[in-house]
Amino acid sequence: MRQTGLALFLGTLLFGGCDIVSDPVRPSSNGGGPVVEGIPRRVLLEDLTGHRCNNCPRAARVAHELVDIYGEELVVVGVHMINGFAAPLQPIGDDLFDTDFRTPAGSTYESTFQVMGLPLGMFNRTSYNNSRTISDGAWSEAMAVMAGQEADLDIQFTAFNFDAGSNTVQGQIRVPVVHDITGDHDLVIYLTEDHVIDWQIDAEATPSNVENYEHRHVLRAALNGTWGEPIITGSATVGDTLTATFSYALPSNVLVPNNCALIAYVAQRDTYEVKQVTERKFQP
């Protein structure tokens, strides 16, 4: 059953009413995909991974090859899950795989999407070859199918500030509606941290236990809850602009705030499908 509680709520999220936007800003490029006449629908790749998964680094390398091709059209998040792959290795304190990369959100996604093994990925949480979770060998083909679509809405960070003194990030998100859209949709805000140096098993490395592996785009928290907060209830009309104001204290698992980013996405509530996503790094 889908959970609606805010297990990781660390701040407040205030939603404003609908305004009219006459001409949403069109991006100048949509990466490596076909040219899109309207707003390109960016793709969220949730790289389902674990630091004790020996084939997961291979998948991470595929993800970054795709980023090199598609640029800002592809947003990657490393979601660590499955106890046997992401939990600390006992005994704790021997400096060998001691880090717990799991998050409450990742554990819920593991159950909801019935993830039984790794590595796998989800592209906007849509199905490819009749599966929502996709093996890394098919990521290039799945991304090619997803690329070049026109979006029904856009997401923009119109204000952003990180206060190191209070360890708090705050700002505003703007969601212009480009085409009429129906159904209940939620806005989810991920906090990720890049360049995390820690242990990783890598089947393609010698030795395979890599002490100084660089973990990329690590999910640290779903700041406004695993499934986010409502942004569209029932429907929204082209020309509407939805806004959300946020303020969060960073969780204790963050090591270097300057390596962090917020990823905001809108997902349809009943299908989980991600309709649009964007990323805002703390240090652009």
Model confidence, pTM: 0.88
235, part of any domain: no
Query: Residue 213: which domain range?
Result: 39-151+187-226+253-281
234, part of any domain: no
Question: Can you give the CATH number for the domain in which 263 is found?
Answer: 3.40.30.10
What does the mean pLDDT of the chain come to? 90
pLDDT digit string, tens, across residues 85-130: 999 998 888 989 999 999 999 999 999 999 999 999 999 999 999 9
Strands annotated E in the chain = 11-15, 19-20, 43-49, 74-80, 120-123, 156-163, 168-176, 181-182, 185-193, 196-201, 209-215, 218-222, 229-232, 235-236, 240-249, 260-268, 274-281
10, part of any domain: no
51, part of any domain: yes
pLDDT digit string, tens, across residues 194-232: 999 999 999 999 999 999 999 999 999 999 999 999 999
pLDDT at residue 26 in the model = 32
139, part of any domain: yes
pLDDT digit string, tens, across residues 250-262: 999 999 999 999 9
Residue 30, pLDDT above cutoff 60: no
241, part of any domain: no
Percentage above 90 pLDDT, the chain: 84
Query: Are the beta carbons of 258 and 173 closer than 8 angstroms?
Result: no
pLDDT at residue 37 in the model = 75
Residue 3 is classified by DSSP as: -
161, part of any domain: no
State the average pLDDT over residues 159-184.
97
How many Å apart are CA 269 and CA 3, to the nearest integer? 11
Place of tokens 């029932």: 234
**Cis bond upstream, residue 57 (ω within 30):** no
State the average pLDDT over residues 17-23.
29
How many Å apart are CA 28 and CA 273, to the nearest integer? 25
| Number of structural domains the chain divides into | 1
159, part of any domain: no
